[in-house]
A = this chain, B = another copy of it.
Amino acid sequence: MGRWEPDAAGRLREAAMALYAERGFDGTTVADIADRAGVTARTFFRHFTDKREVLFAGSELLEQSMVKALADAPADAGPMEAVAAAVLASAEFFDDIPRDYSRRRQDLINATPELRERELMKMAALTSALTKGLLERGVAADVAPLAAETGVAVFRVSFERWISAPDGEPIADVIRSTLKTLKTL
Protein backbone atom coordinates (compact mmCIF):
# COMPACT_ATOMS: atom_id res chain seq x y z
CA MET A 1 0.00 0.00 0.00
CA GLY A 2 1.26 3.43 -0.87
CA ARG A 3 1.77 6.21 1.52
CA TRP A 4 -1.78 7.41 0.98
CA GLU A 5 -5.03 5.77 0.03
CA PRO A 6 -5.24 5.85 -3.76
CA ASP A 7 -7.73 7.87 -5.81
CA ALA A 8 -8.10 10.93 -3.63
CA ALA A 9 -9.94 12.70 -6.44
CA GLY A 10 -12.50 9.92 -6.62
CA ARG A 11 -13.05 9.96 -2.88
CA LEU A 12 -13.44 13.72 -2.96
CA ARG A 13 -16.01 13.47 -5.73
CA GLU A 14 -18.05 10.90 -3.85
CA ALA A 15 -17.83 12.83 -0.62
CA ALA A 16 -18.95 16.00 -2.37
CA MET A 17 -21.90 14.30 -4.03
CA ALA A 18 -23.02 12.81 -0.74
CA LEU A 19 -22.66 16.00 1.25
CA TYR A 20 -24.25 18.24 -1.37
CA ALA A 21 -27.19 15.87 -1.35
CA GLU A 22 -27.38 15.73 2.44
CA ARG A 23 -26.84 19.36 3.40
CA GLY A 24 -27.07 21.19 0.11
CA PHE A 25 -24.27 22.89 -1.76
CA ASP A 26 -24.24 25.99 0.43
CA GLY A 27 -24.46 23.99 3.61
CA THR A 28 -21.34 22.07 2.72
CA THR A 29 -17.84 23.43 3.24
CA VAL A 30 -14.81 22.29 1.34
CA ALA A 31 -13.35 21.27 4.68
CA ASP A 32 -16.34 18.96 5.20
CA ILE A 33 -15.72 17.29 1.88
CA ALA A 34 -12.01 16.95 2.49
CA ASP A 35 -12.59 15.51 5.95
CA ARG A 36 -14.91 12.85 4.65
CA ALA A 37 -12.41 11.98 1.95
CA GLY A 38 -9.62 11.79 4.51
CA VAL A 39 -7.55 14.66 3.16
CA THR A 40 -7.18 18.36 3.86
CA ALA A 41 -8.99 21.21 2.17
CA ARG A 42 -5.77 22.22 0.48
CA THR A 43 -5.68 18.89 -1.26
CA PHE A 44 -9.21 19.39 -2.50
CA PHE A 45 -8.04 22.44 -4.40
CA ARG A 46 -5.13 20.53 -5.84
CA HIS A 47 -7.59 18.21 -7.53
CA PHE A 48 -10.40 20.61 -8.40
CA THR A 49 -10.17 24.27 -9.19
CA ASP A 50 -13.20 25.14 -7.11
CA LYS A 51 -16.12 23.84 -5.13
CA ARG A 52 -18.29 23.56 -8.23
CA GLU A 53 -15.83 21.84 -10.49
CA VAL A 54 -15.81 18.69 -8.40
CA LEU A 55 -19.08 17.70 -10.09
CA PHE A 56 -17.81 18.42 -13.59
CA ALA A 57 -14.45 16.70 -13.65
CA GLY A 58 -14.33 14.47 -16.69
CA SER A 59 -16.34 16.80 -18.88
CA GLU A 60 -13.21 17.39 -20.96
CA LEU A 61 -13.25 13.71 -21.83
CA LEU A 62 -16.82 13.92 -23.01
CA GLU A 63 -15.99 16.94 -25.11
CA GLN A 64 -12.89 15.31 -26.54
CA SER A 65 -14.69 12.16 -27.56
CA MET A 66 -17.42 14.16 -29.25
CA VAL A 67 -14.94 16.33 -31.10
CA LYS A 68 -13.02 13.26 -32.17
CA ALA A 69 -16.16 11.58 -33.50
CA LEU A 70 -16.92 14.77 -35.39
CA ALA A 71 -13.51 14.75 -37.01
CA ASP A 72 -13.73 11.04 -37.76
CA ALA A 73 -17.07 11.31 -39.55
CA PRO A 74 -16.88 10.49 -43.26
CA ALA A 75 -15.62 13.40 -45.32
CA ASP A 76 -18.77 13.40 -47.42
CA ALA A 77 -21.09 13.56 -44.42
CA GLY A 78 -23.06 16.79 -44.12
CA PRO A 79 -22.78 19.06 -41.08
CA MET A 80 -25.78 17.62 -39.28
CA GLU A 81 -24.70 14.07 -40.01
CA ALA A 82 -21.31 14.78 -38.53
CA VAL A 83 -22.89 16.41 -35.50
CA ALA A 84 -25.19 13.44 -35.07
CA ALA A 85 -22.15 11.18 -35.03
CA ALA A 86 -20.59 13.37 -32.37
CA VAL A 87 -23.65 13.25 -30.15
CA LEU A 88 -23.92 9.50 -30.58
CA ALA A 89 -20.31 9.20 -29.47
CA SER A 90 -21.30 10.59 -26.09
CA ALA A 91 -23.19 7.36 -25.47
CA GLU A 92 -19.92 5.51 -25.06
CA PHE A 93 -18.94 7.91 -22.35
CA PHE A 94 -22.08 7.31 -20.32
CA ASP A 95 -21.92 3.57 -20.72
CA ASP A 96 -19.04 3.62 -18.28
CA ILE A 97 -20.89 5.17 -15.37
CA PRO A 98 -24.01 3.96 -13.57
CA ARG A 99 -27.07 5.80 -14.76
CA ASP A 100 -28.17 6.35 -11.19
CA TYR A 101 -25.02 8.33 -10.57
CA SER A 102 -25.82 10.56 -13.53
CA ARG A 103 -29.30 11.06 -12.22
CA ARG A 104 -28.25 12.02 -8.72
CA ARG A 105 -25.65 14.34 -10.12
CA GLN A 106 -28.16 16.03 -12.39
CA ASP A 107 -30.63 16.44 -9.56
CA LEU A 108 -27.98 18.28 -7.59
CA ILE A 109 -27.17 20.52 -10.52
CA ASN A 110 -30.80 21.33 -11.14
CA ALA A 111 -31.28 22.19 -7.50
CA THR A 112 -28.29 24.50 -7.22
CA PRO A 113 -27.99 27.76 -9.18
CA GLU A 114 -24.22 27.84 -8.78
CA LEU A 115 -23.95 24.40 -10.33
CA ARG A 116 -26.40 25.25 -13.09
CA GLU A 117 -24.27 28.20 -13.98
CA ARG A 118 -21.26 25.99 -14.31
CA GLU A 119 -23.16 23.47 -16.36
CA LEU A 120 -24.26 26.15 -18.80
CA MET A 121 -20.63 27.10 -19.14
CA LYS A 122 -19.67 23.53 -19.97
CA MET A 123 -22.39 23.35 -22.58
CA ALA A 124 -21.19 26.60 -24.10
CA ALA A 125 -17.66 25.23 -24.24
CA LEU A 126 -18.97 22.11 -25.90
CA THR A 127 -20.83 24.20 -28.44
CA SER A 128 -17.78 26.17 -29.40
CA ALA A 129 -15.62 23.05 -29.57
CA LEU A 130 -18.09 21.49 -31.97
CA THR A 131 -18.29 24.70 -33.96
CA LYS A 132 -14.53 24.72 -34.31
CA GLY A 133 -14.56 21.08 -35.38
CA LEU A 134 -17.18 21.80 -38.01
CA LEU A 135 -15.21 24.72 -39.37
CA GLU A 136 -12.21 22.42 -39.67
CA ARG A 137 -14.37 20.09 -41.71
CA GLY A 138 -14.95 22.95 -44.10
CA VAL A 139 -18.48 23.74 -43.00
CA ALA A 140 -19.55 27.27 -43.86
CA ALA A 141 -19.06 29.86 -41.14
CA ASP A 142 -22.73 30.74 -40.88
CA VAL A 143 -23.85 27.11 -40.69
CA ALA A 144 -21.34 25.72 -38.21
CA PRO A 145 -22.51 27.53 -35.06
CA LEU A 146 -26.11 26.68 -35.82
CA ALA A 147 -25.37 23.01 -36.36
CA ALA A 148 -23.26 22.89 -33.20
CA GLU A 149 -25.96 24.55 -31.14
CA THR A 150 -28.51 22.13 -32.47
CA GLY A 151 -26.25 19.22 -31.64
CA VAL A 152 -25.83 20.36 -28.06
CA ALA A 153 -29.56 20.82 -27.78
CA VAL A 154 -30.08 17.24 -28.93
CA PHE A 155 -27.52 16.08 -26.42
CA ARG A 156 -29.17 17.95 -23.56
CA VAL A 157 -32.65 16.78 -24.38
CA SER A 158 -31.53 13.19 -24.86
CA PHE A 159 -29.62 13.16 -21.61
CA GLU A 160 -32.59 14.54 -19.72
CA ARG A 161 -34.88 11.96 -21.28
CA TRP A 162 -32.47 9.12 -20.66
CA ILE A 163 -32.17 9.99 -17.00
CA SER A 164 -35.87 9.55 -16.46
CA ALA A 165 -36.29 6.69 -18.92
CA PRO A 166 -37.07 3.15 -17.82
CA ASP A 167 -34.03 1.31 -16.60
CA GLY A 168 -31.88 -0.47 -19.13
CA GLU A 169 -32.74 1.93 -21.95
CA PRO A 170 -29.42 2.60 -23.71
CA ILE A 171 -28.71 6.29 -24.09
CA ALA A 172 -27.72 5.70 -27.71
CA ASP A 173 -31.31 4.70 -28.46
CA VAL A 174 -32.63 7.84 -26.81
CA ILE A 175 -30.26 9.95 -28.86
CA ARG A 176 -31.28 8.26 -32.07
CA SER A 177 -34.90 8.85 -31.20
CA THR A 178 -34.27 12.51 -30.45
CA LEU A 179 -32.43 12.92 -33.73
CA LYS A 180 -35.35 11.33 -35.54
CA THR A 181 -37.78 13.74 -33.90
CA LEU A 182 -35.55 16.62 -34.89
CA LYS A 183 -35.75 15.62 -38.52
CA THR A 184 -39.53 15.94 -38.49
CA LEU A 185 -39.28 19.65 -37.73
Looking at chain A, what size class is its interface with the partner chain?
A: 10 to 19
Q: Which of B113, B121, B124, B149 contacts A153 (CB 8 A)?
A: B149
The contact string, 1 if C-beta is below 8 Å from chain B, for chain A 114-141, is 0011101100100000000000000000
The complex is assembled from copies of this chain, and their number is 2
Distance of A120 Cα from B124 Cα, bound (Å): 8
With a cutoff of 8 Å between Cβ atoms, the chain B residues found around residue A113 in the complex are 121
Of the candidates A116, A118, A121, the one having the most CB atoms from chain B within 10 angstroms of its own CB is: A121
A98 shortest CB reach to chain B, Å: 28
**Closest B-chain residue to A123, C-beta based?**
B120
The contact string, 1 if C-beta is below 8 Å from chain B, for chain A 75-116, is 000000000000000000000000000000000000001001
Distance of A120 Cα from B116 Cα, bound (Å): 10
Distance of A39 Cα from B164 Cα, bound (Å): 50
The contact string, 1 if C-beta is below 8 Å from chain B, for chain A 156-185, is 000000000000000000000000000001
Distance of A146 Cα from B185 Cα, bound (Å): 10
With a cutoff of 8 Å between Cβ atoms, the chain B residues found around residue A121 in the complex are 113, 116-117, 120
Please report A residues at the B interface, Cβ cutoff 8 Å: 113, 116-118, 120-121, 124, 146, 149, 153, 185
12 contacts between A and B (CB under 8 A): A113-B121, A116-B121, A116-B124, A117-B117, A117-B118, A117-B120, A117-B121, A120-B120, A120-B121, A120-B124, A146-B185, A149-B153
